Structures are given as structure tokens and as C-alpha cells.
Structure 1
Amino acid sequence: MVHHADHPLFYLPGICPEAAPWSDQKRNWMRAAERVGQLLGQDYLFVPELDPHDDSVVAVKVKVSTHTSKWSTNKLYPRFGLGSISTVIDGKGRTLKQSEVSLRHAWTRVAGP
């Protein structure tokens, strides 16, 4: 669906702070991304979007890095990560520290500059 887009991204369905919080769903989505990413040769960046009133996750944006994607500097990784930003690179998922996120804001690929 997004494999040939210049700036591939999508939102995960079903994220709801009350009924289906991100903290309960994160592990399953990360495992799925690990399997799919390895099969398709894609890397993923999970960027939670927070409610400004109570800091609960109201949506999760997934940015996809492929061989054909054309992410610009400062567009892939957020300058300041709010919430726990995670990556899936080469089929392996991990959550980034805030210091790692701020160092990667100029990257144009999830796996590296």
C-alpha cells in the first residue's frame, strides 16, 4: 500500500486511551512490524501522538522507510520525541531514548542517515 510512496506513513487503527491503550497494544504491533518488515525489506518508526490535556496516546503514526522512500531531513524523526518512540530495523524492534531521538532528527532513513 505505501511501499512505493515518497513519504510512506499510516496510522495504526484502534488506538483508544480508554478502551485500547497503546501500552497494551504496543507489543503486538511491534511483533507484527518485525515480521512484515523483514519480509518486505522495510523499516518502521512508531511515533505516538499525545493528548495535550493528559499525555495519553491518542494515535500512533507509523513512518515507513523503504529503498524508494524520499524522506527529507527533519521530516522522518521528530525533533523532540514526546512519548516512547520505537523503531523496527531489520526485523528487530526497540524503543529509543530521548537522547537518541534528538540525535536522529536529520536522518532520512529509519536505519541511518
Structure 2
Amino acid sequence: MTTATKTSGKARNRRMARMPADSGGDNEQAGTKKTAAGIAKTGTKTSATTKKSSKTELVLGMLRRAEGATLDQMVEATGWLPHTTRAALTGLKKKGHMVTSEKLDGVRTYRVAAFSNA
């Protein structure tokens, strides 16, 4: 016994999960674009000085303090796991920051010595 599947004569258009920003729309006005969030943007640029701070910048700020920062302090501030925090320290080293560490009274403290643009 064979079963027949029901198919419609007309195939439906597939929708992409994320539509391209420059796709033409009926309600789109000249000079404005719709973002993924649905907020209309004008053609003007925003200033680059309003950059959102990241967790990496938070860690870097902690390392620049005179007392430096311990791994536990950085984990608590960022919400990362310890291995992720150590990976962020490695990333800072790769970006040219001189991250130093020293162990005092059984607690390792990390600091940024200087920034070299090598």
C-alpha cells in the first residue's frame, strides 16, 4: 500500500532568517534604512566616541589599577569562568599589552605594565 503526500500546486517562497539590510520594501522611505530591530535610521552617522564598553575593557581597567587584580576579582566582575578570564588575559597579551603576574601570599595578582604597539 502506498501513501500519497499532499502537495500544493504553488510552492511557497522561503523566508530567510535574517533579511539583508538593503532589501527593498514597500514602506521604506528614501534616505532611511530599517535595521534588524525594526528601528528606522537616518543617513547620518553616529559619533564613534559613544562606544559601548566591553568586559575586556573592564578587565583591562582592573589590571591598570595600582594593586592590579586577582583572577577571582576578574571572574566576579565579568561573570566569566576562570578559564575564559585567563583566555582574555592571553588575548590582551596578543594585542600588545604587557600583562605581568606575581604571586604574593599564595594569591596571584595580574597587572598591565605598559602598552607597546609592536
Query: Whose strand proportion is higher, 1 or 2?
Result: 1
Normalising by structure 2, we get a TM-score of 0.27
Structure with the larger helix share: 2
Of structures 1 and 2, the one scoring higher in RCO (CA 8 A, sep 6+) is 1
